[in-house]
Amino acid sequence: MSCLRKYVENGGVSPLFKRDDLYNAALDSFSKTPFNDVSISAILRDAKMNKGSFYLKFYDKLDLYLCMMERAGKDKMKFLSEKMSAQKPTYYFFNQLYTVALGSLEYARHDARFYSFWRIYLSEGEALKKKVREEFPKLTNDFLGEMIDAAIEARQINPKYDHDFVHSVIKLYFNNLDGLVKATMTDGEILAKVEQVISFLKDSLALPK
């Protein structure tokens, strides 16, 4: 499957890491309006960018959307990494997962636009969400993978399950959480749903005490 981001196909760095104005114009639009209703022309007008320059760097609106999510996602991973680094290395893995969920909501609240975008994303159709998941399996996996490896090494995961199986199961649940929550849920309801997932994983994978 070919990549949906032009810069990846051509090599180099995402244009949105160099164009704060375009990133902010895109986030402004996608945080107010569902994907299908967003106007590229309006975004380019706000960013003072012409269509010729845009199509040199991006395939289409989806490409811009994915690049915007990539930049926001990497900023979020940095935020969560700093939050987790403040904890003790021996902190219990399944509590760490909940801290990540809380941190994700905290990050979403630090910029009202991102929080609004996330809520709109939850209401998007499955076809768009599938493209996002396929394009970004590594963004979350690297962060989760380090946590999982540390938990295995600390014998917090039952050794009867092999390394690859543990990684696959935990990432499967966390990378598809958007399928378990709805845009109409309150933050408390979302965290309760995440708690259910973590409790299920703990009951299934944790080393019995």
Domain ranges within the chain, ordered by starting residue = 6-205
How many other C-beta atoms can be found within 10 angstroms of the C-beta atom of residue 198? 21
* Secondary structure (DSSP) of 23-73: HHHHHHHHTTS-GGG--HHHHHHHHT--HHHHHHH-SSHHHHHHHHHHHHH
pLDDT in tens, 178-188: 667 776 888 88
Q: Specify the pTM.
A: 0.71
pLDDT in tens, 63-120: 999 999 999 888 887 887 777 776 655 578 898 888 887 777 777 777 788 888 988 9
Amino acid type, 79: F
pLDDT in tens, 119-162: 898 889 999 988 888 887 655 556 778 889 989 998 999 999 99
To which CATH superfamily is domain 6-205 assigned?
Answer: Tetracycline Repressor, domain 2 (1.10.357.10)
Distances (CA, A) of 190 to 74, 179, 193: 22, 11, 5
Q: Which two three-digit tokens encode residue 30?
A: 């996608």
pLDDT at 88: 58
Q: Which two three-digit tokens encode residue 79?
A: 């935020």
Report the DSSP beta bridge partners of residue 65. none
